[in-house]
Chain A
Amino acid sequence: MKPLHSLYGFETLAIHAGTPPEPTTGARSFPIYQTTSYVFEDVDHAASLFNLQAPGFIYSRLTNPTVAALEERLATLEGGRGATCTASGHSAEVLALFPLMSPGMEVIVANKLYGGSINLMGKSFRKFGWEAIFVEATDPEAFRQAVTGKTRAIFVESLANPGGVVVDLEAISQVAQGAGVPLIVDNTMATPALCRPLEWGADLVVHSTTKFLSGQGNAVGGVVIDSGKFRWLHNEKYPSLSTPSPEYNGITFAETFGEDLAYTLYSHAVSLRDLGSTLSPFHAWLTLNGVETLALRMERHCSNGLAVARFLEQHPGVAWVSHADLESSEFRALAQKYLPHGAGSVFTFGIKGGFDAGVRLVESVELFSHVANIGDTRSLIIHPASTTHRQLTEEQRVAAGAGPEVIRLSIGLERVDDLIGDLEQALAAAHSPD
């Protein structure tokens, strides 16, 4: 991966970026600015802020110092120009597309996504008049064939949930470039410690920060990160950024703030202002603390995950294991290219005995927690067909890799022998006739 900074490495940036000592008190741990609003110096200062002529704080729905610290840190770690934090990963998906889309426009979407994202894009987006065109995630040519004059963005997950699928980012970014639209990559499962999509040609990255970034299952949040490289100026496809904004006295974001800052400033000044899906300062603070140990944690998540995957692959009660670092994976070459430090710790396997065995397994574990989350210090287990992907059609479930026999694991940071022991006893229980 490319160096992110001329002087410092990833682990250093994860600890320092965005959080210098607090200037007034010198507080070294970044403070939680638990405030809704900020006092103006005078009427002229207030006018400058409302006109976007000077950086500053007005109201925490738009910007907040603790949230901004997290934004700068995450922008830094992805190698982006700017970031906008949101209340959840889902709101990050909406916010990422908000400056790009308008009624009647289309977004081309990979069919292998978190089930909730498939619902959001396939159903709720239609209420905005946004059309999601789903294509086979593993076939870049399918993306090319789906491009029309109405295409405004392409959306994929780098390492696709529920697991084991690696998308060819470079090939799809070339499709996006040819179509003249931004590529948006959900990098939740990989995190910038393992993969940085902007280095492979993506224009925007989104995360559910709830997962590995905060890392301890205690703070829901999301983020949109802009590379600053997409050309918005005079681009008639994106009038939000390339034409005058009447409510800001006719300024054109891409001109007044430059093409590199326009998207992030619009996301705060318009998208968050109007949609209001703002991250709370406290959740931002929890996430800031989590991110400090991201590189260390991901190393252990990956080694634990691969050890568990290898154990399952040789277990007689298991039909298959889908983990991109296994020799048996059809995605191994892509994983070695895009995820050289490990293919994460969320993956799926097929339990022999189908739906019923799957249900018995999740009811027999002692250490694994049966929850609808991933990316926790704790190891997690779920049967997608009966939970996260339940609201999809059978066809969508199979296409998304969440058929009836599929179990999804998110391997945590416990002693790996204990995790293997727990799965061993639970598999035995799932397969014992009683």
Chain B
Amino acid sequence: MNPDSSDREIRDILRRVQRIAVVGASTNWKRPSFFVMKYLAQKGYRMIPVNPSAAGQELLGETVRASLAEAGTVDMVEVFRRAEEAPGIAREAVACGAKVLWMQIGVVSDEAREIAEQAGLQVVMNRCPKIEYSRLWGELGWQGINTGVIGSRRRRA
């Protein structure tokens, strides 16, 4: 977990972003990246897959792009690649005007974080946006998971 990202920050990011590019999106529906894309697409996000080896294929109604440069304007770049590739992806995220760089669970790169933060992007590291969305909006608790969310206010139905 990234100790720097508070629940409030994560909630703000997930409320604000609309178009999310997933670098390392797999067309194999059994892969974790597919689970994440499908879930977030169902929640109303536009999920844009990026994967050079699957470029041109159809994935959840979107054409897979060969690179971030072909993804058009995106609000957030989600990194589903090994940590060694994260700094390069961070530079591309800066170039394509993203406002958030989000590195998946297991992807930890301080270099990528610095590149993105220096360009003014918000950075989330070593977390999963699907888990965070379902945790902060209550669904993760449906499976007996400790969400850490406590409060007496009414959540949306």
Q: Which residues of chain A have C-beta atoms less than 8 A from B45's C-beta?
A: none
Docked Cα-Cα span, A67 to B32, in Å, equals 27
Query: Which B101-150 residues have a C-beta within 8 angstroms of A?
Result: 105, 128, 131, 134, 138-150
Contact B142 A57 (CB under 8 A): yes
Flag B14-35 by CB within 8 Å of A: 1 or 0 each. Answer: 0000000000000001101011
Return chain A residues, CB-CB under 8 Å to B149. 20
Considering the chains assembled together, what is the distance between the CA atoms of A21 and B156 in angstroms?
10
CB distance from A76 to the nearest CB of B (A): 5
| Pick from A68, A80, A256, A267: contact of B141, CB under 8 Å | A68
Contact residue among A56, A57, A75 (Cβ-Cβ distance under 8 Å from B145): A75
Decide if A255 touches B32 in the complex (CB within 8 Å): yes
Taking a contact as CB atoms under 8 Å apart, the answer to whether A256 and B35 are in contact is yes
Q: Let me know if A261 and B156 touch, CB within 8 A.
A: no
Cβ contact within 8 Å between B144 and A65: no
Interface of B is mostly: loop
A407 within 8 A of B: no
Chain A nearest CB: distance from B78 CB in Å?
16
Contact A75 B156 (CB under 8 A): no
Q: Residue-by-residue, is A236-277 near B (CB-CB < 8 Å gives 1, otherwise 0)? A: 000000000000011100011010010011011000000000
B146 — which chain A residues lie within 8 A by C-beta? 17, 72, 75-76, 80-83
B150 touches A56 (CB 8 A): no
A149 CB within 8 Å of chain B = no
Of chain A, the residue at the smallest CB distance from B43 is A54
**With A72-B144, A81-B146, A82-B143 in contact, is A20–B42 under 8 Å at CB?**
no
- Say if the beta carbon of A26 comes within 8 Å of chain B: yes
- List A contacts of B151 (CB < 8 A): 16, 20
Contact A48 B141 (CB under 8 A): no
Q: Is there contact, CB below 8 Å, between A264 and B30?
A: no
Within 8 Å CB of A51, what residues of B?
Answer: 29
Within the complex, the shortest CB–CB distance from A264 to chain B, in Å, comes to 5
Which of the segments A7-15, A163-171, A204-212, A344-352 contacts the partner chain?
Answer: A7-15
User: Does A106 sit at the interface, judged by CB under 8 A?
Assistant: no
Q: Which residues does chain B contribute within 8 Å of A13, judged by CB atoms? A: 150
Q: How far apart are the CA atoms of A241 and B112 in the complex, in Å?
A: 32
A21-B154 in contact given A54-B42, A250-B30, A258-B105 (Cβ < 8 Å): yes
> A63: which B residues are within 8 A, CB to CB?
142-144
What are the residues of chain A within 8 A of B147 when measuring CB–CB? Answer: 72
Q: Which residues of B contact A56 (CB under 8 A)?
A: 139, 142
Q: Would B39 and A23 count as touching, CB distance under 8 A?
A: no
The answer to whether A75 touches B42 (Cβ under 8 A) is no
- Complex-state Cα separation, A251 to B28, whole angstroms: 11
* A294 located at the interface, meaning its Cβ lies under 8 Å from any Cβ of chain B in the complex: no
Q: Is A24 interfacial (CB-CB < 8 Å)?
A: yes
Residues of chain B within 8 A of A57, CB atoms compared: 142
Of the candidates A85, A250, A261, A267, the one having the most CB atoms from chain B within 10 angstroms of its own CB is: A261
Tell me which of B38, B142, B143 contacts A48 (CB under 8 A).
B38
Q: How far is the CA of A18 from the CA of B144 in the complex (A)?
A: 9
Q: Would you call B142 and A256 a contact (CB within 8 A)?
A: no
| B131–A21 CB distance below 8 A | no
Chain A nearest CB, measured from B64 CB (Å):
19
> Which chain A residue shows the least CB distance to B1?
A260
Q: Which residues of B contact A310 (CB under 8 A)?
A: none
A258 to B39, CA, bound (A): 16
Determine the distance from Cα of A72 to Cα of B32 in the docked complex, in whole angstroms.
Answer: 24
Please give, as numbers and ranges, the residues of chain B lying within 8 Å of A65 by CB-CB distance: 142
Q: Which of A16, A45, A55 contacts B140 (CB 8 A)?
A: A55
Residues of A within 8 A of B148 (CB): 5, 76
Question: Are B144 and A85 interface neighbours, CB within 8 A?
Answer: yes
Q: In the complex, what residues of A have CB within 8 A of residue B138's CB?
A: 20, 23
Instruction: Please tell me if the beta carbons of A264 and B155 are within 8 angstroms of each other in the complex.
Output: no
- Which of B144, B148, B150 has the largest number of chain A CB atoms within 10 A? B144
Q: Which residues of A contact B131 (CB under 8 A)?
A: 258, 261
A292: Cβ under 8 A from any B Cβ:
no
Asked if A71 is at the interface of the complex by the 8 Å CB criterion, the answer is yes
With contacts A21-B152, A21-B154 taken as known, whether A55 is within 8 angstroms of B144 at the C-beta atoms is no
Bound complex: CA A120 to CA B36 (Å): 41
**A88 contacts B by Cβ under 8 Å:** no
Instruction: Please tell me if the beta carbons of B139 and A69 are within 8 angstroms of each other in the complex.
Output: no
Tell me, in angstroms, the Cα distance from A294 to B13 when the chains sit together: 37
Q: A16-B150, A23-B156 are in contact. Are A249 and B142 (CB under 8 A)?
A: no
A111 within 8 A of B: no
Min CB gap B76→A, angstroms: 20
Q: In the complex, what residues of A have CB within 8 A of residue B145's CB? A: 72, 75, 81-82, 261, 264
Q: Would A55 and B150 count as touching, CB distance under 8 A?
A: no
11 A-B interface contacts by CB (under 8 A): A20-B149, A23-B155, A48-B42, A57-B142, A68-B142, A69-B141, A75-B146, A81-B146, A82-B143, A264-B143, A268-B144
**Chain A residues near B (Cβ < 8 Å):** 5, 7-8, 12-13, 16-18, 20-21, 23-24, 26, 45, 48, 51, 53-57, 63, 65, 67-69, 71-72, 75-76, 80-85, 249-251, 255-256, 258, 261, 264-265, 267-268
